[in-house]
Amino acid sequence: MNLHVREADLDDERDASGIIALLDSYASAPVGGGQPLAPDVRERLIPMLREHPTSLVLLAFVDDDPVGIAVCFFGLSSFRARPLLNIHDLAVLPQHHGKGVGQALLKAVEDRARSEGCCKLTLEVLDGNARARNLYRRFGFEDVVVDQSPTRFLAKPLE
């Protein structure tokens, strides 16, 4: 298996198609919500990633076929006054689970974060997504605890 990871070229149609296909596969799975990407999302996603000033999209390939994706965004740690990198989406095609694709993507994300002077990587994961949680723990991610209290990720939907 010839596995390699590189930054996506958002102006390249093959990379753009791969991004949509990978995220659609993830969204369609039960852990991703069980619904394919809506047509309007498929249409807007690449232009929005291209225009967003902090986006980083990495693609994992086996030979020339995209099999995994990490969609990340640079942020800022105000307590450390240094950049951070948030892994917003990490997905691998089901037929490539257990083959080191997720690990390769995480390593590439970490390498990029280190090269940009980031102080940490962040992500969120569903509590019930045991496969992803195990991958992240093996890679060194852990629950954030401040003063013996776990940190929770909260959201307020605006739609």
Q: Indicate whether 146 belongs to any domain.
A: no
Residue 150 counted as domain residue: no
- Whether 157 has a pLDDT exceeding 80, the answer reads no
Residue at token pair 């969609």: 71
Mean pLDDT of 67-71: 98
pLDDT at 143 over 90: no
The answer to whether residue 60 sits within a structural domain is yes
CATH code for the domain in which residue 119 is found: 3.40.630.30
Considering the domain boundaries, does residue 129 fall inside one? yes
Does residue 10 fall inside a structural domain? Answer: yes
Q: How many Å apart are CA 63 and CA 40, to the nearest integer?
A: 30
Would you say residue 130 lies in a domain? yes
- Tell me how far the alpha carbon of residue 10 is from its chain's centroid: 15
For 60-71, what is the mean pLDDT?
A: 97
What H or E segment, with its residue span, contains residue 54?
none
**132 is a domain residue:** yes
- Total structural domains in the chain? 1
- pLDDT confidence band for 145 (50 / 70 / 90): confident
Phi, psi of 147 (to 5 degrees): 50, 45
SS3 133: helix
Q: Which domain holds residue 9?
A: 3-139
- Residue 151: inside a domain: no
Query: Mean pLDDT throughout 80-84?
Result: 96
Q: How confident is the model at residue 24 (pLDDT cuts 50, 70, 90)?
A: very high
Is pLDDT larger for residue 42 or for residue 133? Answer: 42
